[in-house]
Amino acid sequence: MPADLRTRIGHLDLPSPILTASGCAGAGRELAQFTDVARIGAVITKSITLEPRAGNPAPRLAETPSGLLSSPGLQGPGIDGFLQRDLPWLLSRGARAVVSVAGHSAREYGELASRLSDAAGVTAIEVNLGCPDASAAGRPFALDPAAAGQVVAAVRGSARYDIPVFAKLSPEVTDIAAVAREWERRLALLASAVPAVNPPPRVWTAIATRLGLEGVRGAGLAWWQRLGFWRGFAIASFAAALVLSGITLMQPPATPGESLVAVLAGPDAKPVMVATAALDQSVLTLKAVADVTPGPGRVFELWALPEGAAPRSLGVIASAGVVKVRLRGPSGEALARVPALAVSLEPTGGSPSGQPTGPVLYSGRVERLY
């Protein structure tokens, strides 16, 4: 019987405690030729910067009696290239992406966190504090708790609330244990659990007013007013939340059951399709929320990206609008271990190989709403 390697870090559920070290596997493609990247806990990407970087000129490695000196210079595609190419590729393989970020100022780190929060599929953010602080003559942020604290605060303040933030310390110190203890002291307050609070009725009235829902019918505490719904609802980006509000909140209130929802977005993080399914039903509804067409001789194909397995086709989408997709059993079972959905562009009739053959255009995490 295989060992159960499932691991929880904070509120993250990972299939394995094994995560790649940032920089050792690029953005996952380099590792994919050796193993299925969906089987490991997560891929921690090479540190991403705001702008593309060519890195340091060769030679970048030098052998010493005690090992290797490495100075790649943070070569990378920049945040735009990462969101357009690398993140969609990771999601198409069912991998979990912990995105490492690097910058020369707290502002750059905060901007990176904001951009990543607008994208679908970011599991967590790693803050690379080994970067040089431009305002301190290139001294690494990690060597100054105050400067590093500003960076972490900028990332935490700019990142979506449900995306965990991890600070990576630098070994370039005389006593890393002392630095870690100082960080523990400074961040102890963040480790305290914050109890749930039901907002007063005036908050829901303000939300309804801003979303144009003043005419929603029903008495008492409507389902869209419940704290549990908004917790799940806020997992998608703000833009995706507005899309969902237009689809689900305009319906008359009713006593809902649990359901699954996925907001499928392109590389620019703009929502394109929304998939919904009640846990006890065998039909998944896919609704286009943007004007997209596959083009002549092409169709969209919807894929489930299960944990530790190859993508599984859920059906061909021949046209935009609202499409009903028949599942193999209730969605709560058919999508139980499917953390993400994706849409690829395929020839008429669908993929000839049973796996995505065309580009993966849209993807999104599957979330459970209560």
Q: What are the strands, taking DSSP E only, across the chain? A: 7-9, 12-14, 43-44, 61-64, 67-70, 97-101, 122-128, 132-133, 139-140, 165-168, 259-265, 271-278, 283-288, 298-305, 312-317, 322-326, 340-347, 360-369
Instruction: In whole angstroms, give the CA distance from residue 117 to residue 121.
Output: 9
What is the pLDDT at residue 209?
A: 67
Copy the structure tokens of residue 10: 């904070």
Fold of the CATH domain 7-191: TIM Barrel (3.20.20)
Place of tokens 């894929």: 303
What is the pLDDT at residue 187?
A: 61
Which residue in 68, 69, 87 sits closest to 78, CA to CA? 87
306: Cβ contacts below 8 Å, ≥ 6 apart: 94, 312, 337, 338, 339
- In DSSP notation, 131-187 reads SEEGGGTTEEGGG-HHHHHHHHHHHHHHS-TTS-EEEE--S-SS-HHHHHHHHHHHH
What is the pLDDT at residue 249?
A: 42
What is the pLDDT at residue 11?
A: 75
What is the pLDDT at residue 188?
A: 55
Is residue 24 annotated as a catalytic residue, yes or no? no
Instruction: In whole angstroms, give the CA distance from residue 90 to residue 28.
Output: 7
Length of the chain in terms of residues written: 370
3-state secondary structure of 207: helix
Buried b vs exposed e over 186-201: b needs ≥16 C-beta within 10 Å? eeeeeeeeeeeeeeee
* Among 90, 131, 240, 288, the one annotated catalytic: 131
Task: Report yes or no: 298 and 364 within 8 Å, Cβ to Cβ.
Answer: no
Phi, psi of 367 (to 5 degrees): -120, 150
Helices (H) and strands (E) in the chain, counts: 10, 18
CATH 3.20.20.70 residue ranges for the chain: 7-191
Copy the structure tokens of residue 152: 């972490």
Strands 97-101 and 43-44: parallel
Q: How many CB atoms lie within 10 A of CB 290?
A: 14
Q: How many CB atoms lie within 10 A of CB 237?
A: 20
Chain mean position to CA 155: 15
Residue 181 one-letter amino acid? R
Does the 257-370 domain belong in CATH 2.60.40?
yes
Q: For residue 248, give the H/E element and its range.
A: none
Instruction: In whole angstroms, give the CA distance from residue 122 to residue 88.
Output: 10
Q: What is the pLDDT along the chain (370 residues), one digit of tens a residue?
A: 677 888 888 778 888 888 998 888 888 888 888 888 888 899 999 999 999 888 888 888 888 888 888 888 778 889 999 998 898 888 888 889 999 999 988 899 999 999 998 888 899 999 998 887 777 777 888 888 778 888 888 898 888 888 888 888 877 777 777 777 776 666 655 555 555 667 777 777 776 666 555 554 444 444 344 444 444 444 444 445 444 444 444 444 333 456 778 888 887 777 788 888 877 788 888 888 777 888 888 888 998 888 878 888 888 886 667 788 888 777 667 787 788 899 998 888 888 888 888 888 888 888 876 5
Strands 122-128 and 165-168: parallel
What is the pLDDT at residue 175?
A: 75
CATH 2.60.40 residue ranges for the chain: 257-370
Strands 97-101 and 122-128: parallel
Stated pTM of the model: 0.53
Alpha helices (H) along 222-357:
227-233, 238-244, 331-334
